[in-house]
Structure 1
Amino acid sequence: MAVLVVEHVPGEGPYAIGPALDAAGLRTRLCRVWAGDVLPESLVGIEALVVMGGPMAAHSDDGFPTRGAELALLRAALAADVPVLGVCLGAQLLAVAAGGAAVEGSGLQVGWGDVRTGPPAATDPLLAGAPERLGVLHWHGDTMELPDGAVLLASCDRYPVQAFRVGGAAWGLQFHLEADESTVDTFMAAFPADAATVPGLRAATPAALAALIPHRDRVLGRFAALVAERAEHTASRTFFTPRPCLTNGVVRP
């Protein structure tokens, strides 16, 4: 059993998620689809699904050849109650897989900024205890519409859907909670035009990251612990859940 981490582009890796999984004794299987790694056709042997960010659009197959296969895996995870953590693009894909929609935004939201946690966050398995205002790293231009039944956990004025939960074990984070000391430098190098819209981004990072780290580590540690606690349940659920039918990465009924 392993946690499958889907990486769409170089530089948008799991960052602090990796150490949290390691600390819980979990094995990570990194699937770099940008390098040609093939997504599995089922969740057999997978105890959790982590889907990272990327510059492609969750609402279109254009320039995103693995979109259909990723949505199929996310739908299978939701059906089998396999833990899911979607980050940025991954959160948008989770919303789509659950019956919501990914949509073009009104422009870039890049840099450090607050999100507001709502009342449901107080009893959420991951976000309980998070402050009402949490400073996080934003780096996106699209957003999402949540499906019926999803629980909105955090928001902001610019893009209201910032964190949500679907069911009891799937979370989407529009922001980059996983950020560590290298994340901003890597993102700035990979997306210089985006970074140029936020003067002072690098200078603001040490203080912003220091404030974030205690909350980041608590949330990611809780996710890793939930995955570890549910390992036996997940193994049996994925074995008996029907597999999606894929042909050349396209989902077939």
Structure 2
Amino acid sequence: MKTALALRHVPFEHLGILQPLLEARGYTVRTVDVGVQPVPADDMAAVDLLIVLGGPIGAYDDATYPFVGDEAAAIAQRLAARKPLLGICLGAQLMARALGAAVKPMGVKEIGFAPITLTAEGADSPLAPLADGTPVLHWHGDRYDLPPGAQRLAFTAVCAEQAFAIGTHALGLQFHLEANLEELEAWLIGHAAELGAAGIDPRALRAQVPALAGRLSQRAREVFNAWLDRAEAA
């Protein structure tokens, strides 16, 4: 039985559609709530697949949230071992930090549904199903610089770095392809203060879900399955 470990930073930003997808591929999946529970560095090194999820803190917030430094260090060890690793939003930013790249505020919030543009490398990557312009869920205010040795896969007009790959074993996504849109209300509630500060009406986001949910869920499964096929074969 293959093992997968997910590091979660807030309860509602969980594995989403990835949970049943991984279980269908034969993984036993465990989630650790980082900050509430200690950073499981040994388990992060040992599992077949590590997934680092999103959250509202920053990848350099060590002074305020001391566990962040330990998490980044354990991610660096995982990357050095070239074992399968998926980072989403904060997870991708922590990967970038672990690889020596800067992570910084954008000065604006990128929140809502919008398509990404693939680079030439992205069009030949597991992200290829998103070349059709399917809008994905963006929810971040920080950005990372492209890490040394990484392939730049995607961008938007707001954020020049939306996805990167290290070989076939590591993938960082700035956007939330894992989100189950049937549970978006939990995001709207949990991030109510952030939405209000950014001047974003949650009703506008909620209204887009019925038209997008089925198509986006299908594309997300295609992307994740394609990446896992490559990562498991590496």
- Corresponding residue SS for 1:35: coil
Partner of 2:190: 190
Measured in 2, the distance between the counterparts of 1:59 and 1:44 equals 22
- Corresponding residue SS for 2:74: helix
Give CA-to-partner distance per residue, 1:181-240, whole Å, 9 cap, x none: 33421110101123343331101112122231221011112233345445xxxxxxxxxx
Give CA-to-partner distance per residue, 1:114-149, whole Å, 9 cap, x none: 21111111222x223431533111111111111222
Partner of 1:163: 163
Partner of 2:76: 75
Q: How far off its partner does 1:23 sit? A: 1.2
Q: Could you tell me the percent identity over the aligned residues?
A: 34
- Corresponding residue SS for 2:149: coil
Measured in 1, the distance between the counterparts of 2:231 and 2:27 equals 8
Q: 1:227 to 1:21 in 2, by over 3 A?
A: farther
Partner of 2:216: 212
Partner of 2:112: 111
Partner of 2:8: 7
Partner of 1:25: 26
Q: TM-score, normalised by structure 1?
A: 0.84
More deviation, 180-189/154-163: 180-189
Measured in 1, the distance between the counterparts of 2:195 and 2:184 equals 9
Task: Give, as a single letter, the amino acid of the residue that structure 2 aligns with 1:184.
Answer: L
Q: 5+ residue gaps in structure 1?
A: 231-253
Q: 1:35 to 1:182 in 2, by over 3 A?
A: farther
- Corresponding residue SS for 1:222: helix
Partner of 2:146: 146
Q: How far off its partner does 1:39 sit? A: 1.5
Q: Runs ≥4 in structure 1, deviation > 6 angstroms? A: none
Measured in 2, the distance between the counterparts of 1:89 and 1:140 equals 8
Partner of 2:53: 52
Q: Do the aligned residues in 1 keep the contact of 2:182 with 2:213 (CA within 8 Å)?
A: no
State the structure with bigger RCO (CA 8 A, min sep 6), 1 or 2.
1
Q: How far off its partner does 1:44 sit? A: 4.7
Match of 2:227 among 220, 223, 228: 223
Q: 1:128 to 1:181 in 2, by over 3 A?
A: closer
Q: 1:182 to 1:64 in 2, by over 3 A?
A: farther
Measured in 2, the distance between the counterparts of 1:89 and 1:43 equals 16
Measured in 2, the distance between the counterparts of 1:38 and 1:90 equals 14
Q: How far off its partner does 1:176 sit? A: 0.4
Higher helix fraction (1 or 2):
2
Q: 5+ residue gaps in structure 2?
A: none
Q: How far off its partner does 1:2 sit? A: 1.6
Measured in 1, the distance between the counterparts of 2:110 and 2:45 equals 37
Q: Do the aligned residues in 2 keep the contact of 1:117 with 1:133 (CA within 8 Å)?
A: no
CA RMSD of aligned residues (A): 1.8
Partner of 1:250: none
Q: Do the aligned residues in 1 keep the contact of 2:123 with 2:131 (CA within 8 Å)?
A: no
Q: TM-score, normalised by structure 2?
A: 0.90
